[in-house]
A and B are shown apart, each in its own frame.
Chain A
Amino acid sequence: AQSVTQLGSHVSVSEGALVLLRCNYSSSVPPYLFWYVQYPNQGLQLLLKYTTGATLVKGINGFEAEFKKSETSFHLTKPSAHMSDAAEYFCAVSGGGSNYKLTFGKGTLLTVNP
């Protein structure tokens, strides 16, 4: 069984400030972890993923996330927020291997204030 908890359904930051979106997971097997972004009225776009190897992963648009097994966390960060980052962000986990089923968190809406 696997689950994802995203802390904070809504995060508001100022333009240029640090973005931190929190994700904790539960998985009975080594997880594959993903962050997806959804802009208004659009589908989901993959930001970044962790499978194996380096625990700090870099994605598109300047985002990165660090897999911390001891904390069962996969928080998403960006050093400096841009207005175009305003969107909803989803953390997801799968069991890896042939277990393709993705389990999503409930999402975090990021607002960027000028």
Chain B
Amino acid sequence: NAGVTQTPKFQVLKTGQSMTLQCAQDMNHEYMSWYRQDPGMGLRLIHYSVGAGITDQGEVPNGYNVSRSTTEDFPLRLLSAAPSQTSVYFCASTHRLAGYNEQFFGPGTRLTVL
């Protein structure tokens, strides 16, 4: 198993550009989520999904879109990037039969918006 994979590892955007951060897992996990990590702020939940076709907002959803067409993939879209979206983004997944909600994290994508 590759676990949770994220691409790209690094990305630099200009203000107003759009892009998609990719997240995939090969563990057949129903639940997937996106977090952003900023210095001194910990990790904050952006969006999450409890299964294909079902998504919901987390704590900081503004400026981000998600969709879940398959169990494996959960892309995060920035439609018009802003400097405030400069951050490290982590994708995570878990299975309802997994050990007590233990979530598995990807390696992260470091995004800089100029």
**Is A44 in contact with chain B by the CB < 8 A criterion?**
yes
Shortest distance from the beta carbon of B112 to any chain A beta carbon, whole Å: 14
Q: Is chain A's binding surface mostly helix, strand, loop or mixed?
A: strand
Q: Count residues on chain A whose CB falls below 8 Å from chain B CBs.
A: 26
Produce 1/0 per residue, B88-106, CB < 8 A to A: 0010101010011111011
**Is A101 in contact with chain B by the CB < 8 A criterion?**
yes
A32 B100 Cβ-Cβ under 8 A: yes
B100 A96 Cβ-Cβ under 8 A: yes
Provide the bound-state CA to CA distance between A34 and B99, in Å.
Answer: 12
A42 B107 Cβ-Cβ under 8 A: yes
Provide the bound-state CA to CA distance between A39 and B92, in Å.
Answer: 17
Provide the bound-state CA to CA distance between A4 and B40, in Å.
Answer: 14
A101 B45 Cβ-Cβ under 8 A: yes
Nearest B residue (CB) for A50? B100
B90 A100 Cβ-Cβ under 8 A: no
**Is B108 in contact with chain A by the CB < 8 A criterion?**
yes
Identify which of A94, A96, A102, A107 gathers the most chain B CB atoms within 10 Å of its CB. A102
Shortest distance from the beta carbon of B15 to any chain A beta carbon, whole Å: 25
**Is A83 in contact with chain B by the CB < 8 A criterion?**
no
A104 B44 Cβ-Cβ under 8 A: yes
B→A interface (CB under 8 Å)? 31, 33, 35, 40-45, 48, 50, 58, 90, 92, 94, 96, 99-103, 105-108
